[in-house]
Structure 1
């Protein structure tokens, strides 16, 4: 009996120590599992965030620079279109003036031709039928047609016909009849000139209208582009803006040298 009790009192402390050690190891293992167990996904670090933010900022700056560049270019294009529209408008005014002068010259020539045709219906004065008289008539005709051609009242073809005495030009006719023929030829020449200048005036007007429409469209686009560029111009580096301003100044100077 004593032996059994002795073994009991000796074994219990040893078992307690062993269980204490096992319990401590279990606690350490559980704590280690908590520490080494699955972790939440890693979040981006500060550097990655900075790089992403920097990339987005660079994209905004590049987009802003592109808007500023486009606004400058379309502004220059609008200035050139306006200069072209002014030149074509001036050309149309000049063509209109030429057409009005041509019409006025034709009206005057038509009135004179009508009067001379009416006068040619009257009996012609009697003149001696001598070689000297016919020579004088021929000289009168030659001087009259050459003077009219020198003042652009007759074409070179009419002048050649008159000097060659063909196509109705007869130096033997009385000067009154020759004057009527000459005035009709001048009227026909000026009618052709008037029609030519009228066509040129219409062409110049259409060109001026087309240029004005293009300039109006570009002005509207330039205003819209400037508004978009002004909204983001602060994102562009000052040296970039200054460089764009210098380029714009050079382009304006080039346009001015072309006659703006």
Structure 2
């Protein structure tokens, strides 16, 4: 039996088709990793939104309790010497602790310490009322920021998913075109030498 000739090398057009199919496949693999990463980031942002809402609800309930407590009138009496200083220290200490616990922002704490919109001579019950409402405002701002962040990550994840779908479709078409190139006669001869039951185990 004559030894078959070596299969002819693919034409430049066929080689280009194969190379393009490989490049698109690699791009699709990278796009899949990007899509998975952006989706994971979006899912984490969703959890952050839920946590921010729970924190806001807790702050809102605390503010409501402080509002009910402040509804009762306080007895008017002459203050003792140094009482205003004590009230001021209470306000500064409570606000600093709230900032340390991330219940209010640094900007809010600076307003308290500088007495911008805050009267340090008020009764601690009234100070607590204002502080709880400041915490509520901060938690609401955090929730809205978390919503905006989650929405931006969702849009990014959607774009990554669209890019992945497009690349996978393009890769499928490119691979199909590369696989349908005409098979040389020698390749047909080699394939005919193997029956169905004689295919090597490594095939």
Runs of 5+ consecutive residues of structure 1 not aligned to the other structure? 1-56, 236-260
Match of 1:72 in 2: 22
Match of 1:188 in 2: 137
Equivalent position to 1:119, from 69, 72, 80: 69
2-structure distance, mates of 1:190, 1:74:
46
3-state DSSP of counterpart to 2:16 = helix
What is the TM-score with the length of structure 2 in the denominator?
0.81
Match of 1:199 in 2: 148
Runs of 5+ consecutive residues of structure 2 not aligned to the other structure? 1-7, 185-203
2-structure distance, mates of 1:120, 1:137:
16
The alpha carbon displacement at 1:126 in A equals 6.7
Match of 1:232 in 2: 181
Match of 2:167 in 1: 218
The alpha carbon displacement at 1:190 in A equals 1.1
Match of 1:176 in 2: 125
Between Structure 1 and Structure 2, whose CA radius of gyration is higher? 1
The alpha carbon displacement at 1:127 in A equals 7.0
Structure 1 residue runs of 4+, over 6 Å off?
A: none
Q: Which of the two has greater helix per residue? A: 1
The number of residue pairs the alignment matches comes to 177
Listed as ranges, the matches of 1:71-150 within 5 Å are: 71-124=21-74, 129-150=79-100
What is the TM-score with the length of structure 1 in the denominator?
0.64
Match of 2:158 in 1: 209
The alpha carbon displacement at 1:125 in A equals 5.8
> Which shifted more, 147-156 or 89-98?
147-156
The alpha carbon displacement at 1:109 in A equals 0.6
Larger relative CO (CA 8 A, sep 6+): 1 or 2?
Answer: 2
Give the aligned CA root-mean-square deviation in angstroms.
1.9
